[in-house]
């Protein structure tokens, strides 16, 4: 598997960052989470004057073999239909990207459909859908490695376009099941606490989902390494996101983490290289059961809690204006000395 040389940001600048923030014309700590975000972004970029440049939302799409077991209410064709919809505009992620100045990048990672050319969708297809991991690994180690490399390659393209802050989204019927399996594998949280309604399962549907995934876990016969869990239970779109996150961190980019599925991806990425978390800002706590527990396992402090469960990168893009406010605060506010205001804390 491709390795990534991710540098842990130096702490030497941290004291100067905190001093600059503390001496802005406000009571110390009065801008709360904005102050923490500004310090974190300054630390990532190793500067007292951080910048946000050309934000992109990369949306990977793929199908999952596990849906053959009835673990979701979304039929398989929804994946390619929605991917096509994204390319025409008018979906949830489209209006959010338009509102907040994001460029939306669409990637076919493994959709079970021949996507027509000329729609602006990047063809990174590994295979038409993963296999059904109730009976066999979702992908081969070679396919997993290729997905990591292709996800990293997409990030290279947006970085070359001048982007230094990126969010990731996904589309794939059945991917909450795969995320639950990664969550269980990497945190040890009981599988029942990792499973939720996904796209809208009722209580009997959730019980059936738990039964299927429990049997899938019992049938696992890998070597219990992170690479094995990622390939056995993952989706192509999820593994490409893992590769994208790792490459973004290697390039020193800010990563805005979206909901349940993308949190599972940054969790998986951290098992391959823990330093990736130094570049992550968690956009929101979603409504999918288990997301809060996974965030707690990562010691993550999400910016928003809007009961979202759309995916697509929607929560990450929604959080961007708060991140922008934090950067504007550290760059645009006066300090006490420059304006002759008595420091009042």
Over 264-327, what HEC string results? HHHHHHHHHCHHHHHHEEECECCCCCCHHHHHHHCCCCCCECCCCCCCCCHHHHHHHHHHHHHH
pLDDT (tens digit per residue) in 115-146: 988 889 999 999 999 999 999 999 999 999 99
Token representation of residue 122: 């990047």
Residues 168 and 308: their CA atoms lie apart, in Å, by 15
Query: What pLDDT is stored for residue 58 in this prediction?
Result: 98
pLDDT (tens digit per residue) in 255-266: 999 999 999 999
Q: Percent of the chain at pLDDT above 90?
A: 89
pLDDT (tens digit per residue) in 11-64: 999 999 999 999 999 999 999 999 999 999 999 999 999 999 999 999 999 999
Residues in the chain: 345
pLDDT (tens digit per residue) in 223-253: 999 999 999 999 999 999 999 999 999 999 9
Query: How much is the mean pLDDT over the chain?
Result: 95
pLDDT (tens digit per residue) in 281-303: 999 999 888 999 999 999 999 99
Residues 1 and 227: their CA atoms lie apart, in Å, by 8
Q: Is 69 annotated as catalytic? A: no
Taking CA 241 as the corner, what is the angle to CA 237 and CA 242, rounded to the nearest 5 degrees? 120
Query: What pLDDT is stored for residue 264 in this prediction?
Result: 98
Kindly indicate the confidence band of residue 200, based on its pLDDT and cuts at 50, 70 and 90: confident
Residue from 143, 227, 312, 332 carrying the catalytic annotation: 312
Kindly indicate the confidence band of residue 212, based on its pLDDT and cuts at 50, 70 and 90: very high
Query: What pLDDT is stored for residue 1 in this prediction?
Result: 85
Residues 56 and 58: their CA atoms lie apart, in Å, by 6
Kindly indicate the confidence band of residue 344, based on its pLDDT and cuts at 50, 70 and 90: low
Query: What pLDDT is stored for residue 74 in this prediction?
Result: 83
Single pTM value for the model: 0.96
């Amino acid at each position: 598997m491709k390795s990534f040389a991710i540098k842990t940001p130096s702490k030497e600048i941290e004291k100067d960052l905190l001093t600059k923030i503390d001496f802005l014309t406000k009571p110390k700590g009065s801008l709360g989470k904005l102050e923490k975000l500004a310090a974190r972004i300054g630390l990532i970029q190793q500067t007292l004057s951080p910048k946000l440049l050309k934000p992109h939302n990369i949306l990977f799409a793929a199908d999952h073999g596990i849906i053959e077991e009835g673990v979701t209410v979304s039929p398989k064709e929804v994946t390619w239909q929605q991917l096509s919809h994204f390319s025409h505009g008018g979906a949830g992620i489209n209006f959010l990207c338009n509102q907040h100045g994001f460029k939306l990048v669409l990637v076919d990672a493994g959709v079970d459909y021949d996507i027509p050319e000329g729609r602006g969708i990047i063809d990174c297809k590994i295979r038409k859908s993963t296999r059904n991991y109730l009976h066999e690994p979702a992908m081969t180690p070679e396919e997993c490695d290729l997905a990591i490399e292709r996800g990293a390659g997409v990030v290279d393209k947006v970085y070359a376009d001048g982007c230094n802050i990126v969010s990731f989204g996904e589309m794939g019927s059945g991917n909450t099941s795969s995320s639950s399996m990664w969550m269980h594998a990497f945190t040890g949280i009981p599988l029942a606490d990792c499973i939720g309604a996904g796209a809208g399962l009722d209580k009997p549907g959730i019980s059936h989902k738990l039964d299927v995934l429990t049997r899938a876990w019992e049938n696992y016969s890998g070597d219990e390494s992170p690479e094995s869990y990622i390939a056995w239970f993952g989706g192509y779109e999820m593994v490409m996101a893992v590769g994208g996150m790792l490459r973004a961190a290697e390039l020193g980019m800010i990563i805005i983490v979206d909901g349940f599925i993308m949190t599972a991806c940054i969790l998986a990425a951290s098992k391959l290289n823990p330093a990736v978390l130094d570049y992550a800002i968690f956009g929101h706590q979603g409504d999918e059961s288990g997301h809060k527990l996974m965030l707690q396992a990562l010691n993550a402090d999400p910016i928003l809690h809007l009961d979202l469960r759309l995916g697509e990168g929607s929560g990450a893009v929604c959080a961007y204006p708060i991140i922008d406010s934090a950067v504007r605060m550290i760059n645009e506010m006066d300090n006490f000395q420059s304006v002759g205001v008595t420091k009042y804390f």
